């Protein structure tokens, strides 16, 4: 039986962000932008959506005079990602 895929994760950029964050302790905005090959605006919007769902933690501070944003996956995000993988498996032959 097919399980429902979490719509918040079942989109290309948000899934890419979560896949990166699941495999590291924390990553900054520039790193995510490079790895996902996305625009800053789009990435920012998707990060906000994941953050509002408590799937990721976003920390904003300054390195020197430059703003620095780091993201980290939360326990809830980890669980959601795991459930998403389980759901994907149900679609596989």
Partner 1 sequence: MEEKKLTEKESLELITRMIQSTKENLEVGRGNKFLMYGYFTVALGIVIFLLSLFTHNNLYSWGWCLMFACWAFVSWKAKKPDVITYTGKAIQRVWQIMGLMFAITFVSLWIFVVIFHTHYILMILMMPLSLIYVNIGVSITGIILKDKWMTFLPLVSQLIAFYMLVAIMNNIPNILLNLLMSFAFIVSMVIPGHILNYKMHK
Q: Residues in the site for partner 1, rule: CB under 8 A?
A: 5, 10-16, 19-20, 22-28, 30-31, 34-38, 42, 46, 63, 68, 85, 88, 91-92
Which of 73, 10, 13, 81 lies closest to 43 in space, CA to CA? 13
Do the Cβ atoms of 73 and 21 come closer than 8 Å? yes
Q: Which is nearer to partner 1, 11 or 52 (CB)?
A: 11
Q: Which is nearer to partner 1, 12 or 54 (CB)?
A: 12
Do the Cβ atoms of 50 and 18 come closer than 8 Å? yes
In the complex, least distance from residue 56 CB atom to partner 1, rounded to whole angstroms: 14
């Amino acid at each position: 039986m097919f399980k429902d895929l979490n719509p918040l994760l079942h989109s290309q950029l948000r899934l890419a962000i979560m896949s990166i964050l699941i495999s590291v302790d924390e990553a900054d905005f520039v790193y995510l932008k490079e790895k996902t090959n996305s625009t800053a605006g789009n990435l920012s919007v998707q990060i906000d959506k994941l953050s509002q769902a408590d799937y990721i933690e976003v920390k904003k501070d300054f390195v020197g005079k430059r703003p620095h944003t780091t993201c980290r996956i939360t326990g809830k995000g980890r669980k959601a990602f795991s459930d998403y993988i389980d759901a994907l498996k149900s679609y596989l032959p």
